[in-house]
Structure 1
């Protein structure tokens, strides 16, 4: 399976590179992921239609031209809209468009037909339960863009080339036990993120960080009623949580960027998450929250670091912020996201959020909010320091805050775990990467802590279980070195040896000076000293 996955990833990346020279990374990402998604929808449609038609000994391709074509097509469409959420006719399948585009071994004009098909996928959902999940999914796949070529023929030739190559790849969707394609899709998103610089943080969380967050919010659980990400990007965090348990009943997310919002919905569907099982919204989470009346069992997030927000005084009457008495500053929305997530967290839930280190010690309103969360509400469960330079587009060190609403059972109710994992990583090219062993150490330490085994959860120069009294003594400053002593004592300096070495250096210098003077005298020139 690993070999098959690696082969598919490489094949898809090679095809993506046929577009690389034509446009920038953001654009060719949207095209290649859009075409892969179209092929996925087509194959799922064909497989399901064949299943529906099996009792009549027919395939989906065979009903076109059949004397009962209208009846069969209507039956398949009704079934598909309920099961898959969309419908494609046999003539609209990816394989058919690719075949027509390369008929006779020459590039045939299919751009108009392709645009109609992509539009029809969305139109087929109108008035159905899946309408919101498929609406405008292909809006970033502009087949009229000059980025594809100067002339219509140039654009068509490039698109036909991409479709033809994709058509030759077996997505292996018949294998229901495998998610090779979904993983390959995630791989591509990661590859695009690695080359996207600062923009990468808008849509992708590195897999090793996603894995930590997912495992933290699922400790002691093998299934979840719901998981929520208020800044969901491409959905990688939500999908990573699904890999950490046997079952997640429902996925919720909100994403402000329309392109990334589309990518998230595609990613959900590509990982075979049923359209009835996810609810992703396109809006600003802090200003216009879309799931405000719901509570979630698990919440994960990698919000934009120190983003700006309105911090309008009107929010002082918002239930998410009102009890704190202060709002996060307009120049740094980090704690506004934390407050939002706490509000949405269910009583039995766990949330894990990645934030810049400043949230641990900054004062003023942020210090006030931090104190309220710890002293008044007792929600803070763990603080985990991560290495610098593990996120795309920024080299700053980051931390993970773990919060729970229910921490009433002693002795956990009076403790907070601190982990300093900042020095545990591998340098890969210009990026620092958390290895499996580094991730396992974080999770094992957290599990020991949650089971009440504080001795095992405490490791010299790595982790410490602090009491709330200790945190109060530090005026609710959570800077990790205050709790985890990472000081490395330097070896004592042998001053006598240093003195002897300096004398030896001076003697060698005098000897060298004498030799230079001798040469200068022989040449009849002045010495340089």
Structure 2
């Protein structure tokens, strides 16, 4: 464990140093900085994964003084045989693609071009597996030409600085580590690049506590699912999907996703590569899920999934294509309706209601889902939100709701709840009010609520074991929810408890007299204050 923590710190130091190089070349906090950091980090990871794997295949390579030179001595046929034996999640590199080769070439006149050409060649060679597709069918490759982000005169020096930072570091001895290690590294890597931008798709970063709770309730230890599909229609950088895949087992599930954000799709790809989910890369789609959902079955109908997780944008101006959604083909998908375009404040259009309807439509007959929604959804008395809740209750497909503490997302003041769907749950529904849990902390300029591990587990266990806790959780029947106008707020089902105290007649009379005396004293004080105020007003009037 100590070794792992030490190595995590080394990786974080590498990331910090790469950011320092970007800052030195005018890219600090620049919109393009994330491209450099994430792509250079990914290149290093793929380089080390390749060298690690070929050494596993041929132990003689472990002893090679110069791995690159030894590989160059392979015949074309032998090299191809070697690469054909690589694991499917390992990118194929040629000897001249290795970081060691670029390190030796760094003093060449056109080194920046060599650097970029190397990345582009790796992308081309591995495009079939590692590219992200768009809804239009185009493929977005692994890498872009990094050096072109900086001034022409600085490009060679910039690329030299990057390659010199990479050459002394190696991932090789840590490839047996599992999810928790890479989750920490990934969060650190993207912490400056995946913030809530106030309403655009997928720029929302889901806190780890929320992701953990969602996964642990969707996948109980005794479930033991295998060969299942997991979907997120607003995937962002993949925090929810990674937690879900980890709970199931990366080799027991296939990931599907869609997201309109180009940046988020790149981050998601990196996340999948780090977490042994390369087999799912072909299912990562960049595009507008609401307008043009990509994943369809052999009958060209929308694909149905075993598990769905989502933290969709809550409000977004989709007026430009709102009317395009209002079609006969979408009647079943948007069964509760499509929000109307307001005359003003179009940015306040409730797009989360479309995502929630899309998710309900995309569940298999025994499917489960967990969706983050604004807490106002669970009690709305009319409109689309009410119709969605009616559907969940009438069709008996709700597992429960957890209302989270305020500011669980540091970048938004919106209170959130997690709605858990389960098409097989025909009995009890669990409603939890966790709003009083957590500790307030400052994160930059914002205040954030942080749950302890014990509080996270308390929520998970209460839900999974259907426990009733005073002022925290209730277990209710579908008919009870109907009687409460389909409200999913736990507080509306809590028992009001009245404490009775035995008291004698004399004590009762004494208490009444005490209250009477107190009231009389307060009335006298009030009259005295009233006289003082009137006198002061008269004085001010004649001064």
TM over 0.5: yes
Q: Distance in 2 between matches of 1:378 and 1:308?
A: 32
In 2 relative to 1, CA 460–65 (structure 1 residues): closer, same or farther, beyond 3 Å?
Answer: closer
> Are the equivalent residues in 2 in contact too, given 1:181–1:270 (CA < 8 A)?
no
Unmatched segments (≥5 aa) in structure 2? 298-302, 342-348, 500-510, 529-542
Partner of 2:418: 400
3-state DSSP of counterpart to 2:257: strand
Q: Distance in 2 between matches of 1:110 and 1:399?
A: 52
After TM superposition, the score normalised by the length of structure 2 is 0.78
Partner of 1:476: 486
In 2 relative to 1, CA 476–203 (structure 1 residues): closer, same or farther, beyond 3 Å?
Answer: closer
3-state DSSP of counterpart to 1:164: helix
Matching of residue 421 in structure 1 with residue 434 in structure 2 = yes
Matching of residue 62 in structure 1 with residue 65 in structure 2 = no
Partner of 1:192: 192
3-state DSSP of counterpart to 2:176: coil
Alignment root-mean-square deviation, CA: 3.7
Distance apart, 1:441 and its partner CA: 1.3
Range that drifts further, 475-484 or 346-355:
475-484
Partner of 2:28: 23
In 2 relative to 1, CA 108–12 (structure 1 residues): closer, same or farther, beyond 3 Å?
Answer: farther
How many pairs were matched up?
Answer: 484
3-state DSSP of counterpart to 2:295: coil
3-state DSSP of counterpart to 1:432: strand
Q: Distance in 2 between matches of 1:135 and 1:42?
A: 22
Matching of residue 42 in structure 1 with residue 72 in structure 2 = no
From 458, 472, 483, give the equivalent of 1:441.
Answer: 458
Partner of 1:321: 333
In 2 relative to 1, CA 506–370 (structure 1 residues): closer, same or farther, beyond 3 Å?
Answer: closer
Q: Distance in 1 between matches of 2:36 and 2:498?
A: 51
Partner of 1:512: none
Distance apart, 1:237 and its partner CA: 1.1
Alignment of 1:488-499 (within 5 A): none
After TM superposition, the score normalised by the length of structure 1 is 0.80
In 2 relative to 1, CA 159–500 (structure 1 residues): closer, same or farther, beyond 3 Å?
Answer: farther
Matching of residue 279 in structure 1 with residue 288 in structure 2 = no
Alignment of 1:115-514 (within 5 A): 115-126=116-127, 128=128, 135-138=139-142, 142-145=146-149, 148=150, 150-153=151-154, 155-173=155-173, 175-179=175-179, 182-189=182-189, 191-192=191-192, 198=198, 202-219=203-220, 220-224=222-226, 225-247=228-250, 248-275=252-279, 279-293=283-297, 294-309=303-318, 310=322, 312=324, 314-318=326-330, 320-321=332-333, 324=335, 326-329=337-340, 331-362=349-380, 363-375=382-394, 377-408=395-426, 412=427, 415-429=428-442, 430-449=447-466, 457-484=467-494
3-state DSSP of counterpart to 2:140: coil
Distance apart, 1:27 and its partner CA: 2.6
Q: Distance in 2 between matches of 1:200 and 1:336?
A: 13
Q: Distance in 1 between matches of 2:402 and 2:515?
A: 38
Superposed CA offset, 1:27-71 (max 9, x none): 3222111111000111111222333444799865234552x5322
Matching of residue 73 in structure 1 with residue 79 in structure 2 = yes
Distance apart, 1:177 and its partner CA: 3.9
Unmatched segments (≥5 aa) in structure 1? 450-456, 508-528
> Are the equivalent residues in 1 in contact too, given 2:132–2:139 (CA < 8 A)?
yes
Distance apart, 1:246 and its partner CA: 3.7
Alignment of 1:92-103 (within 5 A): 92-101=97-106
Partner of 2:13: 11
Distance apart, 1:275 and its partner CA: 2.8
Distance apart, 1:504 and its partner CA: 11
